[in-house]
Structure 1
């Protein structure tokens, strides 16, 4: 069973248009990460690659369009 550390609004993440991932600081010093494609596919859990913490990304489907537009 997944344990969610926190619920974070998508606007609080930093979007990297080159890697097409969203990042948010983790308490361990690394960053939670989730890809734009994962969000478009309905995934909403960002995982820290250095520890076991996970956060749920709070967003609406239409919120993603502004990030897709940045790629054009």
Structure 2
């Protein structure tokens, strides 16, 4: 699988209402990956407008702080 880039999770924007992490895509849209997918070990963020994908770099314990934002 070929990735456009590798992005650290702390460089992404977390939106608690949608449980999505986003990151700007060169096409003008945003790469997206869901918190639940990350918890399941998925690490591929996709752009809904183009074919680009990013790999999200994180450790499972990194997700705890985002879980707390949902409480």
TM bracket (short chain): over 0.9
Aligned to 1:50: 49
Aligned to 2:33: 34
Distance 2:44 2:67 in 1: 19
* Aligned: 1:23 with 2:22: yes
Gaps of 5+ in 2: none
When the two chains are superposed, the root-mean-square deviation of aligned CA atoms in Å is: 0.4
Gaps of 5+ in 1: none
- The aligned length equals 71
CA deviation profile, 1:14-63 (whole Å, cap 9, x unmatched) = 00000000000000000000000000000000000000000000000000
| TM superposition score normalised by structure 2 | 0.98
